[in-house]
């Protein structure tokens, strides 16, 4: 599916693992600027594309896979690439639906009480509200020549069973449960 695999990192352990287990992986040394917590995906991708241009390599497309996508499977990846091509897109990212309508979000007031973020939507049945998605943080397809800075873009819906943002211990536990369930279904 891929012509080449490239890892962008400044981490010595990651580099050693790549050298030890996966001969032929291209490792791009990430700059200090793009190794910080403030680095964006756009900046990291631009740095990798610049590396490829310097060594005289180009590709039609790039697939950026994030290491935080343990539930992603090959079928979703293949189908998303097909969709990317069929729709003639320049950019496609993985998205998942919010579990509940965001119009019914609550917020904590300084007093500790909660109030609706959108009070005018509070009495509408949830099934009558719009469907929204969020970046699933798993993969991004885009054209090599334009990188991630484009306007002809779309999202590919990944079912929530295959997607889990991990920011807390609870998120980790949910990801483990999903992983166990998916393995039982095989």
Q: Indicate whether 108 belongs to any domain.
A: no
Q: Indicate whether 69 belongs to any domain.
A: yes
| CATH at residue 26 | 3.90.550.10
Beta strands in 98-183 (DSSP E): 106-108, 114-116, 133-143, 153-157
- Alpha-carbon distance 143 to 63, whole Å? 9
Q: Indicate whether 161 belongs to any domain.
A: yes
Q: Indicate whether 67 belongs to any domain.
A: yes
Cβ atoms within 10 Å, residue 6: 15
Q: Indicate whether 115 belongs to any domain.
A: no
133-143/61-65 β-pairing = antiparallel
Domain of 42?
6-97+134-185
Which of 142, 140, 49 has its CA nearest to residue 89?
A: 142
Q: Indicate whether 68 belongs to any domain.
A: yes
Q: Indicate whether 145 belongs to any domain.
A: yes
> How many domains, in total, are found in the chain?
1
- What pLDDT tens digit does each residue of the chain (186 aa) get? 888 889 999 999 988 888 887 777 888 999 999 998 899 999 999 999 999 999 999 999 999 998 888 899 999 999 999 999 999 999 999 999 998 999 999 999 999 999 999 999 989 999 999 999 999 999 999 999 888 877 889 999 999 999 998 889 999 999 999 999 999 887
Q: Indicate whether 107 belongs to any domain.
A: no
């Amino acid at each position: 599916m891929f012509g080449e695999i490239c890892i962008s990192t400044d981490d010595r352990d990651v580099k050693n693992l790549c050298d030890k287990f996966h001969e032929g992986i291209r490792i791009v040394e990430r700059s200090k600027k793009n190794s910080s917590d403030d680095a964006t995906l756009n900046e990291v991708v631009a740095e990798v594309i610049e590396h490829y241009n310097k060594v005289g390599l180009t590709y039609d497309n790039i697939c950026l896979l994030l290491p935080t996508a343990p539930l992603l499977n090959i079928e979703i990846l293949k189908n998303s690439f097909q969709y990317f091509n069929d729709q003639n897109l320049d950019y496609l990212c993985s998205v998942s639906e919010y579990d509940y309508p965001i119009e019914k979000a609550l917020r904590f007031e300084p007093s500790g009480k909660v109030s609706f973020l959108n009070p005018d939507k509070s009495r509408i049945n949830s099934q009558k509200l719009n469907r929204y998605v969020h970046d699933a943080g798993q993969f991004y397809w885009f054209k090599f020549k334009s990188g991630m800075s484009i306007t002809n873009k779309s999202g590919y819906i990944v079912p929530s069973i295959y997607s889990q943002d991990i920011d807390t211990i609870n998120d980790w536990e949910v990801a483990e449960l999903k992983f166990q369930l998916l393995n039982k279904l095989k």
